[in-house]
Amino acid sequence: MKFKNLIKFICISGTIILGSCSSDDDTTIVGVESPATYEFQRDGASTVSFSGQTTRIAMAEVIISEFTDNTSTEGIIDAMFDHQENADDFEDAALNLSDKSVRSKTAASADYFSANVTDAAAIKADFDGWIKSQIDEVFPNWAIPATAGNSGVLQEAGGGSNRYVNAKGLELNQAFAKSLIGGLMTDQALNNYLGTAVLDEADNIANNDNGVVVDGKSYTNMEHKWDEAYGYLYGASVNAANPNATIGADDSFLNKYIGRVEGDTDFEGIAEEIYNAFKLGRAAIVAKNYTVRDQQAAIIREKISEIIAIRAVYYLQQGKVALEASIIDYASAFHDLSEGYGFIYSLQFTRRSDSNAPYFTRTEVQSLIDDLMGGTNGLWDVTPATLDAMSETIASKFDFTVAQAGS
């Protein structure tokens, strides 16, 4: 669905003017003015707050760095992933003091997992398993050349980067990091904080209508929930109020890949669409216009889901190119395909704009991963034809082509 057709609107000086008319006498007009930047105040104090998201992004950065330190242990990484308040897990004392953790918010959205504890547990177990496999399978063979069926190291052609893979050619650090984009950032933003189950929970609407703020804070609970979704995209930004100046450079997760897709001329403008929808949706909360709020949430869901799918296809196609070379650079091919693995895994956390369902179910995602990894030796066995078929399957559910995403 293309959201430029979702709602007819007139844009005048940054104000969306909505009208619903049954006669000339009872026209209702509500204005929602979108600010130039993501800045909102009440009584002279900022009402924007997403420190918890900034903290989890910082924790996640440290966790993925541990995958490339072969002196680390399963206990160290597990403790970082499932951090407990005041535990000495990080070099950053502020992170240690925090009561936040990455694992607790992975596959933990209200809309997808509050009533689906089986899948939530299985997904957390996947992340736990990637940590364990890195320690048990990859670290012991850190200096041994990898071959089909044997973990180890592959160096990219021309003296390029070393890639450390398991017996099936998968870089577990890439699988973990890219899957976290879906399992943490996307799931929490799209399926938790932008959902009405969270935004409208308990007396949130009444309190927002009446300007009742959270005790000791400057914001209403509804304002804060919207900001928390925003934080999973922009919480590490140099200028979080105006983040597109550095989009793609602020973290290793969703922000990075919004920037990558924005840099593709086929998708230029998508970063601005996402940012504008966040601004207008937040302004709609201030204006107590929940119709406009929910329309902006739908736009964000569509565009973030596209980001995940576009990058899945991109990495499958880049891996295909490497495998079709006259001299195959397995390190480069497997690096791309490992990133593709993570984005495919993340498809189960996407969200259709007009429903409570992802573009791909967990079962469908598992089928795609089986196509990618199902040979005896995993990525060593995958063919360009299989990668093309997978790419077409993903692109067919979105409004882009394999050619657009794959280059």
pLDDT tens digit sequence for 190-206: 999 999 999 999 999 99
Average pLDDT on 354-361 reads 95
CA distance 193 to 183: 14
Q: What is the 3-state secondary structure (H, E, C) of 211-261?
A: CCCCCCCCCCHHHHHHHHHHHHHHCCCCCCCCHHHHCCCCCCCHHHHHHHH
How far lies 188's CA from each of 146, 232, 344, 378, 382, in Å? 36, 8, 18, 31, 33
Contact between 244 and 275 under an 8 Å Cβ cutoff? The reply is yes
- Under the banding of pLDDT at 50, 70 and 90, the label for residue 19 is very low
pLDDT digits (tens, 9 = 90+) for 53-64: 999 999 999 999
Structure confidence by residue, pLDDT tens digits, 265-307 = 999 999 999 999 999 999 999 999 999 999 999 999 999 999 9
- Among 28-32, 210-214, 227-231, 328-332, the minimum mean pLDDT is found in 28-32
Burial label for 22, CB within 10 Å (0-12, 13-18, 19+), is exposed
Tell me the three state secondary structure of residue 142: coil
pLDDT over threshold 50, residue 6? no
Residue 360 to residue 398: CA distance in whole angstroms: 11
With residue 16 as reference, give the H or E element that holds it: strand 15-20
Residues in the chain: 407
pLDDT value of position 234: 98
Tell me what the mean pLDDT of segment 247-252 comes to: 98
Mean pLDDT of 238-248: 98
Q: What is the pLDDT of residues 80-94, one digit of tens each?
A: 999 999 999 999 999
Give residues with Cβ within 8 angstroms of 39, minimum separation 6: 46, 48, 241
pLDDT band at 12 (very low <50, low <70, confident <90, very high): very low
Flag whether pLDDT at 20 surpasses 60: no
Average pLDDT for 136-162:
97
CA 300 to chain centre: 12
Please report which confidence band the pLDDT of residue 317 belongs to, taking 50, 70 and 90 as the band edges: very high
Q: How high is the pLDDT of residue 30?
A: 58
pLDDT higher than threshold 80 for residue 228: yes
**The pTM is what?**
0.93
pLDDT at 31: 82
- Closest alpha carbon to 102 in 77, 122, 119: 77
Residue bearing tokens 């050349």:
145
Q: How far apart, in whole angstroms, are the C-alpha atoms of residue 147 and residue 27? A: 71
